[in-house]
Amino acid sequence: MLEILKVMFLGIVEGITEWLPISSTGHMILVEEFIQLNVSADFMEMFRVVIQLGAILAVVVLYFPKLWPFCSPRNGWIKRDTWALWFRVLAAVLPAAAIGIPFDDMLDEMFYNPWTVAVTLILYGVLFIVVENRNQRKRPRVTSLEDLTWSLAIGIGIFQVLSLIPGTSRSGATILGAILLGASRSIAAEFSFFLGIPVMFGASLLKLVKFGFAFSGAELVLLTVGMVTAFLVSILAIRFFIGYIKKNDFKPFGYYRIVLGILVLIYFIIMK
């Protein structure tokens, strides 16, 4: 029962932090300093990634009408704008896939630690504040998904490469990149959500193949509970986030990152 409660807490953390630009992986690393599951290291490595599948399914459910490319026969079966959006999403995935797939183990070994998380939390917190101040009086050029060009999509995909470093935040890197390239906050957030679908499915499949699908009954229960919790919390987090950015900027998230990064540095300097 205690392990179930731990997994539910991890699912809550994942469901909130996956969509806010504050780094879900970074928070998971930090939480694991205090809450450790009684599982193997191999299972935990897989769990950290696959639990994100629950979160990404929330996007599929909430945005299904925008994401499903087929319509009724009366309307010609195909939604051209939706297909165009998916092709742009897939193009934007390629830069991170080209680096993340062959160098997955090396990146984990080099950067999956609290020190990296602390530095990237602070660095990108500062960047969010700087970018928001810079764009304060600028009008975005892209205010709808239909206006999102191939070059802009690929540019956002290049920014996503930065998120391979833990603590950066996939949503943070892509949203920041989209805003710098001229997208509005809401379009930046939505495209970041959609971009996460193939990224998270691909990353989860990679980890599952590496793990070998060799689950015990207890491990399967823990993974399922974590994913379901992440899914339910993500529904609430996404709705909150979209409502928030319609009236507010990202600077509070920047300040949060800086404060958290400093606290992490202090904690590990004192405790380690």
Q: For residue range 42-71, list pLDDT tens digits in order.
A: 888 888 888 988 999 999 999 998 888 876
Which amino acid would we find at residue 238?
I
Contact status, residue 25 vs residue 5, Cβ threshold 8 Å: no
Task: From 182, 185, 193, select the one nearest 151 (Cα to Cα).
Answer: 182
Q: How many CB atoms lie within 10 A of CB 16?
A: 20
Look-up of token digits 């590496």: 210
User: Could you give the CA distance from residue 152 to residue 137 in angstroms, rounded to a whole number?
Assistant: 21
pTM for this one?
Answer: 0.86
Task: From 153, 50, 55, select the one nearest 95 (Cα to Cα).
Answer: 153
pLDDT in tens, 188-239: 999 999 998 998 888 888 888 888 877 888 888 999 999 999 999 999 999 9
Burial of 203 (0-12, 13-18, 19+ CB in 10 A): buried
Mean pLDDT of the chain: 88
Largest CA distance in the chain: 67
Contact status, residue 226 vs residue 54, Cβ threshold 8 Å: yes
User: Could you give the CA distance from residue 190 to residue 217 in angstroms, rounded to a whole number?
Assistant: 37
**DSSP-derived secondary structure letter, 214:** -
Q: What angle do CA 82, 84, 86 make, to 5 degrees?
A: 70
